[in-house]
Amino acid sequence: MATVETIGGRLDPEDLGLTLIHEHFFSSDEAVSAQWPHVRQRDREYELALESAEAVKSHGVKTVVEPTAMLLGRDIPALQRLASDTGLQIVVCTGIYTYDHLPQFLLNRDEDFIASLFVHDIEEGIQGTDVKAAFIKCAADEPGVNERIEKVHRAAARASVRTGAPIMAHSRPATNTGPRQVEILLEEGVAAEKIQIAHTGDTDDLTYIQGLLDMIELLKRGHAERMFISQDFDVPIANGLDWFPPETVEQLQAAGAATNWSMTFLFEDIIPTLKDAGITDDQLDTMMVENPKRWLGV
């Protein structure tokens, strides 16, 4: 029988319930955090993560899938604390979130070695805990699927083939990285139904409106069983998002960017809009309950 690993242990996929498939409670630059911990405000970050966790629970969410991998500051002890304080089911990953750079340690080792690191997280546990990864994260973005990115994808694929764990691949529609990513994963023998291409709704301009229109069109054509919906929200760290200094975040928000980005935006804005466009509760249930069950169950 299929099961799903979570922070709190192994679950029957039937118990996942309403699931957000892609949200980040704790993400930061792990090298900066290790070398200059004074720029982090961990207590405040925990409070903000707790607020987001409680907010999604109030919308009936039972499970959050947290795709924070290596180089994005994966923090299992913080997630363990959050899961036990809130009762939320949190599903975590292994993998590497890079668009290009790899540390020398990984540059000079091959795909099979990297795959064995991923398998360790899936079978033994992560960061010295007994929490196991339920899926594998990889990414391609502006630099494209170059040699280093291909290596990470092949390693993810080999770990998936060995363990059955599904893969979430961050993609960049603006430069069409998706097809090459899928090609590599399939070439390595990953089961097609275990591949999730993340960010297919993103476009460079008019992201929000275009993404919604594309989504409605796909749903109307009967593709709900192939789609997930989530926000990819990052709980802010320190005084803003980790990637930008606080003053840049303020400028971006003053210019209208991401002003209402939150872990509940989906429930407050997107879902009502989808329903107005004729998307049914059944289709939402397919994307937020049934698909996560099928993708994560191993």
Q: What is the distance between the alpha carbons of residues 171 and 256, in angstroms, rounded to a whole number?
A: 24
Nearer to Zn ion, 279 or 288 (CB): 288
Binding pattern to Zn ion, positions 28-67, x when CB under 5 A? ----------------------------------------
The number of residues making up the chain comes to 298
Write down the least CB distance from residue 112 to Zn ion, Å. 27
Nearer to Zn ion, 93 or 274 (CB): 93
Count of residues of this chain found to bind Zn ion when the rule CB under 5 A is applied: 1
- Contact status: 269 vs Zn ion (CB under 5 A): no
Contact positions with Zn ion (CB under 5 A) in 108-167: none
Write down the least CB distance from residue 201 to Zn ion, Å. 12
Q: What is the distance between the alpha carbons of residues 209 and 266, in angstroms, rounded to a whole number?
A: 14
Contacts of 173-181 with CB under 8 Å at 24 or more apart are 173/199, 173/200, 173/202, 173/203, 174/202, 174/203, 174/204, 175/142, 175/144, 177/140, 177/141, 177/144, 177/145, 180/140, 180/144, 180/145, 181/138, 181/140, 181/145, 181/153
Nearer to Zn ion, 45 or 111 (CB): 45
Nearer to Zn ion, 202 or 232 (CB): 232
Nearer to Zn ion, 171 or 283 (CB): 171
Nearest residue to the partner Zn ion, using Cβ: 232
Q: What's the distance, Cα to Cα, between the start and end of the chain in Å?
A: 8
Write down the least CB distance from residue 72 to Zn ion, Å. 8
Write down the least CB distance from residue 108 to Zn ion, Å. 28
Contact positions with Zn ion (CB under 5 A) in 203-232: 232
Write down the least CB distance from residue 252 to Zn ion, Å. 18
Q: Do 138 and 132 form a contact (C-beta atoms < 8 A)?
A: no
Write down the least CB distance from residue 119 to Zn ion, Å. 23
Helix, strand, coil share (%) of the chain residues, nearest 5: 50, 15, 40
Nearer to Zn ion, 23 or 111 (CB): 23
Four-residue CA torsion sign, 185, 186, 187, 188: positive
Interface positions with Zn ion (CB under 5 A): 232
